Amino acid sequence: MKMKILVTTQSIEKVKADLVVAIDDPKVELFETGSSPIGKALAEARKTFRKKNVHREIVRTFESQTLVVYSSTHEKVYDLHESSKIFVARALAFAADYGHSKVALLLDGANGSDYVGSATEGFVLGDYRFDKYRKEKRAHKVSVSLVCRPAELQKAERALLRYRVVSEEVNRARDLVNEPGDRVYPKTLAALARKIARAGKLGATIVSGAQLEKQGYTGLVAVGKGSLYAPCLIVLRYRPAKKSKHHLALVGKGITFDTGGISIKPAEGMWTMKGDMAGGAAVLAAMAAIAKLKPKVAVTGIIAAAENFPGPKAQRPGDIFIAKNGKSVMVDNTDAEGRLVLTDALARAGEEKATHIVDVATLTGAVVRALGTSVAGIMGNDPDLVRAVIDAGARHGEAYWELPLIAEYRELLKSPYADLNNIGGKFAGAITAGLFLQEFVPDGALWAHLDIAGPFILEKKWKYYPEGATGFGVKTFVELAESF
């Protein structure tokens, strides 16, 4: 069930809430103090935080209400938007621990309405749990009031709506990644895409079966050969009311389970490869949000969906296939399958006439070694597009760090048997993967590649995310589309 969140302009004494939450920042005024008992307690808390910054959290109880005030002064890593989400998630845990069911967040200060969006996101993302397969579920439910100034009502409601849509779609992507590989296969993604298209009036094309072969989607066919579950290419089209000059394609790797194929992976941690479609999930979810938010730019979502399995029909190391753009590829390692299916999706982006292409993929273990789990890698052929993606992510707490597409390393992809080898050897694995993809970017298209192998799933909780899938990329994509 959806969490109830609404904006109210009533004073806090009138708002029905058993838990009142406030965030204190030395520079940004999120809440108002005033002369009520709570107002006085807030003023006192603010003074205490300012005097000795040893305090992180102050709790006061009144007759029927508990007040908890968080101080942002200790939060040196994240900006106030990001730390607000962290505090909101913490307040949700507090409410669960003490049985509060009606939470009010005070955003009635001079800058309060600027934080309605982040607060909403903190509530929706912070409340997410993937416990459908557990007997022990999180039963605690809360409803939320965001207390704002009357003059800010419209702005606040717009922010609530926008962030609610995006955050719920982030959670949809998280569900897809968290679901086991025997519940989500290429057809599942295609069915969901159709559902999203119907609900959001998007154009949809699914290429599967004999059509994949006929239309030359050789990467998908090669990778999908070993699996019982057939591969498919999914295309979703959003078009704005007024024709736009630019056309953005979001391209996602949708490997619903990556065993490695014949070049099979070791057992440890292989289960996380149920989420090797995190890029595709981010594209699907972003398209669903875009359909609702209606940005001014044309956006096409393309997902290359397949399962990478060993078996009698699986591709072998040494096999050679001719990609859609005519280049031949020797499959040195069947575990480097993401880049193979992406050759098809990139080609399709060209056929769809995209001017800007951003692909997103859990592509390499190498990027995780380079950047860890909090930051995704980004590469591209256009500095402005790369910058735009980095900025879009930064506005919502999704961090990207650019890796260079070192031209010299193109040589590492040489093969005596084909135009390209599908792996580049021991070093710079994230970069050689990027260089491989670059060979399949349609002529003239501006392109950026996001390698989200680090942050797509978490082993322990991080910021406002519990362990598990993060839905990384959805927030970036929606913001990027809106920024065009």
Residues known to be catalytic: 265, 339
Strand, helix or coil for residue 429: helix
**Residue with Cβ nearer Zn ion (350 or 424):** 424
What residues form DSSP beta bridges with 248? 299, 356
Distances (CA, A) of 232 to 67, 370, 440: 53, 32, 19
The answer to whether 47 and 23 have CB atoms below 8 angstroms apart is no
The item of Zn ion, ligand BES, none sharing an interface with residue 333, based on CB under 5 to 8 Å by kind, is ligand BES
The residues of the shown chain that bind ligand BES, judged by CB under 6 A, are: 258, 276, 333, 335-338, 362-366, 368, 423, 429, 453
Give me the DSSP letters along 132-163. TT-SS------EEEEE--GGGHHHHHHHHHHH
Q: Which of ligand BES, Zn ion, none has residue 22 at its interface (CB below 5 to 8 Å by kind)?
A: none
Half-sphere exposure of 361 (CA within 13 A, CB side): 34
Rounded distance between C-alpha atoms, residue 472 and residue 478, angstroms: 12
Cα(104)–Cα(95) distance, integer angstroms: 11
CA–CA distance from 350 to each of 199, 257, 381, 442, 446 (Å)? 26, 27, 15, 5, 11
Residue 399: both structure tokens together: 């961090």
CB 451 within 8 A of CB 367: yes
Residue closer to Zn ion by CB (options 122, 279) is 279
Q: How far is the CB of 364 from ligand BES (least distance, A)?
A: 4
364 binds, among Zn ion, ligand BES, none (CB under 5 to 8 A by kind): ligand BES
Say how many CA atoms lie within 13 Å of 84 toward its Cβ: 28
Q: What is the 3-state secondary structure (H, E, C) of 64-118?
A: CCEEEEEEHHHCCCCCHHHHHHHHHHHHHHHHHHHCCCEEEEECCCCCHHHHHHH
CB of 83 to Zn ion, least distance (A): 34
In residues, how long is the chain? 484
Of the two residues 109 and 338, which places its CB atom closer to ligand BES in the complex? 338
Binding site for Zn ion (CB under 5 A): 255, 258, 276, 335, 337-338
Q: Distance (Å, rounded) from C-alpha 287 to C-alpha 169? A: 9
Beta bridge partners of 260: none
From ligand BES, Zn ion, none, interface partner of 106 (C-beta below 5 to 8 A by class)? none
Using the minimum distance from each CB to Zn ion, give the nearer residue, 219 or 338: 338
Least Å distance, CB 406 to ligand BES, is: 17
329's CB contacts (< 8 A; 6+ apart) are 320, 321, 322, 323, 340, 343, 418, 419, 420, 421, 422
323 interacts with, out of ligand BES, Zn ion, none, CB within 5 to 8 A per kind: none
Q: Which is nearer to Zn ion, 32 or 258 (CB)?
A: 258
Nearer to Zn ion, 117 or 473 (CB): 473
Q: How far is the CB of 255 from ligand BES (least distance, A)?
A: 6
| Residue placing its CB nearer to Zn ion in the complex, 50 or 369 | 369
- Given a contact cutoff of 8 angstroms between Cβ atoms, the answer to whether 257 and 330 are in contact is no
CA dihedral (374, 406, 283, 234) positive or negative? negative
Shortest Å, Cβ 223 to ligand BES: 10
- Rounded Cα distance, 113 and 106, in Å: 10
152 binds, among Zn ion, ligand BES, none (CB under 5 to 8 A by kind): none
331 binds, among Zn ion, ligand BES, none (CB under 5 to 8 A by kind): none
Place of tokens 């009144």: 62
The nearest distance, CB 46 to ligand BES, in angstroms, is: 44
- For the CB of residue 260, give the shortest distance to Zn ion in the complex, in Å: 5
- Residue 184 interacts, among ligand BES, Zn ion, none and using kind-specific CB cut-offs from 5 to 8 Å, with none
Of 127 and 335, which has the nearer Cβ to ligand BES? 335
Q: Please report how the helices 153-178 and 116-126 are oriented relative to each other, as an axis angle in degrees rounded to 10.
A: 30
